[in-house]
């Protein structure tokens, strides 16, 4: 049966495992029983078990010394040609034997330095850069020279460098793309070349060399809107996270920008602008262009996952819904965001030992993100817990620009909001503000929500009065101020923690410092970062060669991530695993996704055995120097 096209049944179904296996059992996201294996455990140098929060990826011997990294790479390149190939270049890391074999003596300083030494040098150079943008350009240059060194450095300092190589710094780089541009990377598909798309794509990378295509049309970039051709950097940024988190070989990822013009006057008037200098193509011509691209991917790259990124809110899920029954396609803005929030919510519900249907849910801000998250929860209530549409609606209160959404707002509702309105007669006696709207505080007083989700981009909207009022009526309030960047968050977790006396279960959309509970224990607040889940999605699709990315596969990944919440062992801990465990999280998510693909019959593999973690681990690309062997082609 084809997967439904409605937005994100992420926690809506119980995903049955393909085969009963201790390695790959499907997880019911909202079960309240305690889970096993909630924290990742890694082997230290002496074989001791090291808690995940004290481990760094580069110290993990399994990661550094996996047997697959001992297999040589064959190449016919020698001398400067080898040094100029970033996927093979080792810089000072070439051994003396390799220098002799490949004609590198005299082209490099004499001493051989380990990858760790090179990372220390690069990190020292990075620290000398005066701004985040300067650090970004340094790292981009490093990637252009030495792929292994770039990814190894980023993995060793993941928490510190993630905001540099991705959001928020990449947003600044995108806005200045035509100014800071040095070297092309990725694939630029201009509307002017619409009749040559197939030839251009096949010339860029052969189908057998591509596992993942990340594409944007640059209209909805990171909350800064239309950025034209500079959007290629968002495709590259997502590609970097797929490699860092999922271990997907960077040489097998194709970042793409669909350059259909721009409506950004600053770009159109910039003499240095590098993109198609015209107003953005819209309507039927735009649809035909995107449709042609998706068709080519399906026909020529049938095993590749297609990731759509930062399309406008009107287009982001439209193409996913159109093509999801034909090919493996995914939109991180909608599906990834909802998935990681649902995983955090599943963890919180597990801590409170309740069912999702026992909760009263208030969503503050019902725009694209809020609506996507609300839809995911609503579908979970209906399909996981058996509620009808009307019964699910009764669990929700939605507050948007006109205050609490009720049936009196029917004529002004945006598509999808109708599922979350209350009957106007039900709230007729509630207090209204001077504009005649029912404000957030009044909804808190009257509805007594147990879950409060913020997607409003209204800084400090969750005031002390609002949080304290909510905490009066629930033992463990679940409060997610998800708006980002940090300056737009509805509340600071430290304040929420203080106002609830350490009882709130929290997740945020941006990183915040740890908070201190009344018992003096430091508590890491969960960051609902999409990076925790979409690299595992991609890895699972690639491992299973899935020709579709189904709701069941997404649901399995959500369950696997929720299972790893430290809070399920210790209620005072985070609702999501830490970002520095990203590679290990991605393996577990990928196993669940790949086995769901087998169970649903969308895996293009002839196998009966379920995937296990070691098998997925062997598929990951690691940023380590593998031995080189000279061959004549």
Q: Is 310 annotated as a binding residue?
A: yes
- Say if strands 403-404 and 451-454 run parallel, antiparallel, or are unpaired: unpaired
Query: Which of 344, 249, 340, 377 lies closest to 532, judged by CA?
Result: 340
- State yes or no: is 136 an active-site residue: no
What is the chain's alpha carbon radius of gyration, rounded to the nearest angstrom?
25
Burial of 234 per CB tally in 10 Å (0-12, 13-18, 19+): buried
- Say if strands 329-331 and 361-364 run parallel, antiparallel, or are unpaired: unpaired
Cβ atoms of 564 and 38 closer than 8 Å: yes
- State yes or no: is 191 an active-site residue: no
Q: Is 211 annotated as a binding residue?
A: no
CA distance linking residue 385 with residue 13, whole number of Å: 9
Q: Is 573 annotated as a binding residue?
A: no
Q: What are φ and ψ of residue 560, in 5° steps? A: -65, -40
Query: Quick one: tokens of 519?
Result: 């018992």
Asked, as a colleague might, if the bond just before 434 is cis with ω within 30 of 0, I would say: no
Cβ atoms of 307 and 240 closer than 8 Å: no
Q: Which residues contact 615 (CB under 8 A, 6 or more apart)?
A: 543
Q: Which of these is catalytic: 90, 135, 238, 563?
A: 238
Q: What are φ and ψ of residue 218, in 5° steps? A: 70, 15
Rama region for 341: left / alpha / beta (φ>0; ψ in -120 to 50; rest) = alpha
Q: Which of these is catalytic: 63, 136, 151, 166?
A: 166
End-to-end CA gap in the chain? 48
Query: Quick one: tokens of 520?
Result: 């003096």
Q: Is 484 annotated as a binding residue?
A: yes
Per-residue three-class SS string for 290-348: HHHHHHHHHHHCCCCEEEECCCCCCCCCHHHHHHCCCCCEEEHHHHHHHHHHHHHHHHH
Q: Angle of helix 158-165 relative to helix 147-156, nearest 10 degrees? A: 120
List the catalytic residues.
Answer: 166, 238
> Which residues line the annotated binding site?
309-310, 333, 484, 529
Q: Which residues participate in the annotated binding site for a divalent metal cation?
A: 309-310, 333
Point out the annotated binding site for (S)-malate.
484, 529
């Amino acid at each position: 049966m084809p997967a439904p096209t409605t937005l994100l049944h992420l926690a809506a179904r119980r995903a049955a495992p393909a085969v009963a296996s201790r390695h790959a059992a499907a997880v019911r996201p909202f079960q309240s029983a305690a889970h096993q294996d909630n924290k990742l455990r890694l082997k230290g140098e002496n074989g001791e078990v090291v808690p995940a929060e004290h481990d760094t990826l580069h110290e993990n011997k399994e990661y550094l010394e996996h047997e697959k990294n001992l297999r040589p790479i064959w190449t016919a390149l020698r001398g400067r040609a080898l040094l100029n190939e970033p996927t093979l270049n080792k810089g000072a890391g070439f051994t003396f034997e390799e220098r002799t074999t490949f004609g590198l003596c005299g082209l490099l300083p004499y001493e051989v330095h380990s990858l760790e030494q090179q990372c220390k040098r690069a990190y020292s150079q990075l620290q000398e850069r005066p701004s985040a943008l300067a650090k970004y350009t340094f790292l981009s240059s490093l990637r252009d020279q030495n792929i292994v060194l770039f990814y190894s450095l980023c993995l060793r300092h993941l928490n510190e460098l993630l905001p540099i190589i991705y959001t928020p710094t990449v947003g600044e780089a995108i806005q200045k793309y035509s100014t800071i541009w040095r070297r092309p990377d990725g694939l630029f598909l201009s509307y002017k070349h619409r009749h040559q798309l197939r030839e251009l794509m096949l010339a860029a990378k052969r189908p057998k060399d591509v596992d993942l295509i990340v594409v944007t049309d640059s209209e909805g970039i990171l909350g800064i809107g239309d950025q034209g051709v500079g959007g290629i950097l968002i495709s590259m940024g997502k590609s970097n996270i797929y490699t860092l988190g999922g271990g997907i070989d960077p040489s097998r990822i194709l970042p793409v920008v669909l350059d259909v013009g721009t409506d950004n006057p600053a770009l159109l008037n910039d003499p240095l602008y590098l993109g198609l200098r015209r107003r953005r193509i819209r309507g039927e011509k735009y649809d035909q262009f995107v449709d042609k691209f998706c068709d080519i991917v399906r026909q020529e790259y049938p095993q590749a996952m297609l990731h759509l990124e930062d399309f406008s809110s009107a287009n982001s899920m439209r193409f996913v819904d159109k093509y999801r029954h034909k090919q493996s396609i995914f939109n991180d803005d909608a599906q990834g965001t909802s998935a990681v929030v649902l995983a955090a919510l599943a963890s919180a519900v597990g801590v409170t030992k309740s069912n999702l249907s026992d909760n009263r849910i208030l969503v503050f801000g019902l725009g694209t993100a809020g609506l996507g998250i609300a839809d995911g929860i609503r579908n979970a209530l209906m399909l996981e817990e058996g509620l009808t549409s009307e019964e699910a609606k009764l669990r929700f209160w939605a507050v948007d620009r006109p205050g609490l959404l009720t049936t009196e707002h029917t004529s002004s509702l945006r598509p999808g909001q109708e599922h979350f309105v209350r009957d106007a007669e039900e709230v007729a006696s509630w207090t209204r503000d001077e504009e005649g709207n029912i404000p957030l505080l009044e909804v808190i007083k009257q509805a007594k929500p147990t879950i409060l989700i913020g997607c409003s981009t209204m800084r400090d909207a969750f005031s002390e009065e609002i949080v304290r009022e909510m905490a009066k009526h629930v033992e463990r309030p679940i409060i997610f101020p998800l708006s980002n960047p940090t300056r737009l968050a509805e509340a600071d977790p430290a304040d929420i923690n203080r106002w609830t006396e350490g009882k709130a279960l929290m997740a945020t959309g941006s990183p915040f410092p740890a908070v201190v509970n009344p018992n003096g224990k430091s508590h890491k607040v969960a960051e609902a970062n999409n990076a925790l889940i979409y690299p595992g999605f991609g890895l699972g699709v690639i491992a299973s060669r899935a020709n579709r990315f189904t709701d069941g596969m997404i649901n399995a990944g959500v369950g696997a991530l929720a299972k790893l919440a430290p809070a399920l062992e210790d209620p005072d801990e985070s609702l999501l695993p830490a970002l520095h465990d990203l590679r290990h999280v991605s393996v577990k998510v990928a196993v669940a996704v790949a086995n769901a693909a087998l169970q649903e019959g969308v895996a293009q593999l002839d196998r009966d055995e379920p995937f296990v973690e070691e098998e997925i681990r062997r598929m990951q690309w690691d940023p380590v120097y593998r031995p080189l062997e000279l061959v004549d082609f």
